[in-house]
Amino acid sequence: MTSMQGREHETLEVREQAQRVVETVREALDPRTVAAKLDPVGFAPALAGAARSVLTRPVAAARTGLGWGADAGRAGVVSALRAVGSTASGPAVLAERDPRYSDPVWDENAWYWLCRQQHGLLADRLRELTAGMTVDPVSRRKIDFLVGQLVEAAAPPNWPISSPALVQRAFQTGGKSLVRGARNALRDLVQNGGMPRQFTPGELTVGEQLGATPGKVVFRNRLIELIQYAPQTPKVHAVPLLMSPPWINKYYIMDLAPGRSLVEWAVQHGHTVFMISYRNPDSSLRELSMSDYLREGPVAALDAVQRITGAPKVNVAGLCLGGAIATSMVAWLSARGEDRVNSLTLMNTMLDYTRPGMLGVFVDEPTVDRLERTMRKDGYLPAASMKRTFDLLRATDLVWNYVGTNWFQGDDPRPFDMLTWNGDSTRMPAEMQTEYLRTHYLRNELAEGKLELAGERLDLGDVSQDAYVITAERDHIAPWESVYTGARKLGGTVRFVLSNSGHIAGVVNPPSPKSRHWFSETAELPRSSADWRDDATERRASWWEDWTPWIAERGGEQRTPPAFGCAELPVLGDAPGEYVRGS
């Protein structure tokens, strides 16, 4: 290269850098970008619409306010009477079973009784006010969510002045709990984004207490590692089992801890189990699409499983988003004329997004547009954003509970495997995240047979394999009624099972005296989930115990356990691998 060419090349580089700087500054100063950062969910427009609705009905609003004032006054009078020995009842109708108020002091002490009454009255009047608002459905979801968050935040146990636990612990410790609590609050403000810790980092370690089932990494590409677990029985079923976890968090929710691991349970019952472990993506993977996740995730894993075991077909089990991509894979294979999956197990998996539940608050076109803008710089959605969203969906348990114990009472969180996993969040590539939200949540393309991935249009009706669909009655992320609607669209025989758990406990569900589930198996599920529930059979046992004979019937004959890996795919290392440890 001549000196002249070198100078021209340097000039071109300077111009390109300057252009990138200008574009970055322009993007940062764009009002839409500023709005996306300040209000990523679009609460401000919803609140503005709510305010306009209230102003058009001033009489109703005034009636609600006056009613609240009158009831609050009555509660104050009754509180004064209770302070001198009365047992009169207050105007608020309170929930009978709320563990936050199990301490008798909430009834015996007039001040704490009054605080709870006033909170109940506030909640009732806020809901009365918002119920009468005339707003669009998107704004309605956001307003209801905000009211719910306000009501939860205002609960008396969440504030020092109305928390008997704070006072009791302070007396028990001679005030030391207040010092420890202030230290914890300051630490969380600096190190945890102002949110109380749910676990102490380092107490439980992946590969030791978590994700500890023995195995080997037998495949790796830029997106996944594939773990093959060591057999724990002399013979195994001939049909291997591939597990497809969600990539919103790490895979080991399906291999949580000894005695609480679905992987361990399956291995102990004679299955050769493989697990997909997704990489925590960074900016270099910003352009990964849903088609990339399909091809480089479950399809690549299926290829590897069949090469290692020689099995013509594989049983597949997927959880949440991992279940949706697994189902998409089966439909994709069907569209290509490939019959490589023997059965499908879906855990807390939505296939129809008509009623997305509480997550619908965060998924509408303007909100997705805002999200797209906020991800442009780094090329991914930060892990903390995902975790914060899911925490707010259960704010009483996952936020305010720890404000009370950590900040008010000065305790450190106890080691808990599920919350340690919950805090081990992952980033989401920008392209995949927006594509997933638009095609699934906004346009419901998978359920309607319009979704195209990797060159094929997917039809759930083409998923003709036997399916075991497990869902949870207290699932706040994948409502069981929505899971049911999607299960009806599958083309094979479906055993639909409802457990008495939540989204995570519905998976981590080892046999327990408290476990129970409802089930039915039919070629055609009833049209409505309510009809199914009326006809379902109850069994007092974990769904793991129901699934075990079902998957065994589809596991094939017994054989000698296959070796780890094969000539094409040699062992790369011990489980749990490298990707799960990536930060």
Q: For 241-296, write each residue's pLDDT tens digit.
A: 999 999 989 999 999 999 999 999 999 999 999 999 999 999 999 999 999 999 99
Asked if residue 581 lies in contact with residue 259, where contact means CB atoms within 8 angstroms, the answer is no
* Whole-number pLDDT of residue 139: 92
* Whole-number pLDDT of residue 40: 81
Task: Copy the structure tokens of residue 401.
Answer: 């509970």
Q: Residue 72 burial (CB < 10 Å; 0-12/13-18/19+)? A: middle
pLDDT confidence of 95, banded at 50, 70, 90? confident
Query: Which is more confident, 340 or 505?
Result: 340
* Whole-number pLDDT of residue 548: 98
In this structure, what DSSP letter does residue 210 have? B
| pLDDT at residue 508 is higher than 90 | yes
* Whole-number pLDDT of residue 15: 62
Query: What is the three-class DSSP state of 556?
Result: coil
Lowest-pLDDT range of 10-24, 94-108, 125-139: 10-24
> CA triplet 429, 423, 407: central angle to 5 degrees?
135
* Whole-number pLDDT of residue 431: 96
94: left (phi over 0), alpha (psi -120 to 50) or beta: beta
Query: What are the φ and ψ backbone dihedral angles of 335, each rounded to 5 degrees?
Result: -65, -25
pLDDT confidence of 522, banded at 50, 70, 90? confident
Of residues 320, 437, 483, 487, which has the active-site annotation? 320
Query: What is the three-class DSSP state of 346?
Result: strand
Task: Copy the structure tokens of residue 568.
Answer: 């094409």
- For the stretch 211-227, pLDDT in tens is 999 999 999 999 999 99
Query: Which is more confident, 335 or 10?
Result: 335
- For the stretch 156-213, pLDDT in tens is 999 999 999 999 999 999 999 999 999 999 999 999 989 999 999 889 999 999 999 9
What is the rounded CA–CA span in Å between residue 315 and residue 464?
13
What is the rounded CA–CA span in Å between residue 13 and residue 303?
43
95: left (phi over 0), alpha (psi -120 to 50) or beta: beta
| pLDDT at residue 22 is higher than 90 | no
Task: Copy the structure tokens of residue 418.
Answer: 């599920």
pLDDT confidence of 96, banded at 50, 70, 90? confident
What is the rounded CA–CA span in Å between residue 40 and residue 51?
20
- Domain 215-359+456-581: CATH superfamily is Alpha/Beta hydrolase fold, catalytic domain (3.40.50.1820)
pLDDT confidence of 545, banded at 50, 70, 90? very high
Active site residue 115: no
Q: Residue 484 burial (CB < 10 Å; 0-12/13-18/19+)? A: buried
308: left (phi over 0), alpha (psi -120 to 50) or beta: alpha
Asked if residue 566 lies in contact with residue 493, where contact means CB atoms within 8 angstroms, the answer is no
Residues whose CB falls within 8 Å of the CB of residue 549, separated by 6 or more in sequence, listed in order: none
Task: Copy the structure tokens of residue 22.
Answer: 């200008």
Nearest to 367 by CA among 357, 355, 377, 359: 359
- The β-bridge relationship of strands 314-319 and 341-347 is parallel
Nearest to 337 by CA among 464, 220, 189, 219: 464
Averaged pLDDT of the chain: 92
Residue with tokens 């995949």: 432
What is the rounded CA–CA span in Å between residue 472 and residue 464?
24
* Whole-number pLDDT of residue 438: 97
> CA triplet 132, 137, 140: central angle to 5 degrees?
50
Task: Copy the structure tokens of residue 416.
Answer: 């808990």
Task: Copy the structure tokens of residue 267.
Answer: 């291995």
Query: What is the three-class DSSP state of 229?
Result: strand
Task: Copy the structure tokens of residue 396.
Answer: 């009483």
What is the rounded CA–CA span in Å between residue 555 and residue 7?
68
> CA triplet 298, 303, 309: central angle to 5 degrees?
120
Beta-bridged to residue 206, according to DSSP, are: 210
* Whole-number pLDDT of residue 41: 84
Task: Copy the structure tokens of residue 265.
Answer: 């349970």
* Whole-number pLDDT of residue 14: 56
Nearest to 273 by CA among 247, 312, 296, 305: 305
* Whole-number pLDDT of residue 23: 53
| pLDDT at residue 407 is higher than 70 | yes
What is the rounded CA–CA span in Å between residue 539 and residue 499?
10
DSSP assignment of 243-266: EE--SSB-GGGGG-STTS-HHHHH
Beta-bridged to residue 215, according to DSSP, are: 229
| pLDDT at residue 39 is higher than 70 | yes
Query: What is the three-class DSSP state of 317?
Result: strand
Nearest to 36 by CA among 375, 359, 387, 427: 375
Residue with tokens 């046999």: 511
* Whole-number pLDDT of residue 524: 84
For 113-124, what is the mean pLDDT?
96
- For the stretch 282-332, pLDDT in tens is 999 999 999 999 999 999 999 999 999 999 999 999 999 999 999 999 999
What is the rounded CA–CA span in Å between residue 220 and residue 571?
10
- For the stretch 437-480, pLDDT in tens is 999 999 999 999 999 999 999 999 999 999 999 999 999 899 99
What is the rounded CA–CA span in Å between residue 127 and residue 118?
14
Longest dimension (CA), the chain: 98
| pLDDT at residue 108 is higher than 90 | yes
- For the stretch 473-501, pLDDT in tens is 999 899 999 999 999 999 999 999 999 98
For 398-414, what is the mean pLDDT?
95
- 0.85 cut: is pTM over it? yes
Neighbours of 298 (CB within 10 A): 27
**Does the N-terminal peptide bond of residue 576 adopt cis geometry, omega within 30 degrees of 0?**
yes
pLDDT confidence of 12, banded at 50, 70, 90? low
Residue type for 133, please?
M
Residue type for 581, please?
R
Neighbours of 14 (CB within 10 A): 10
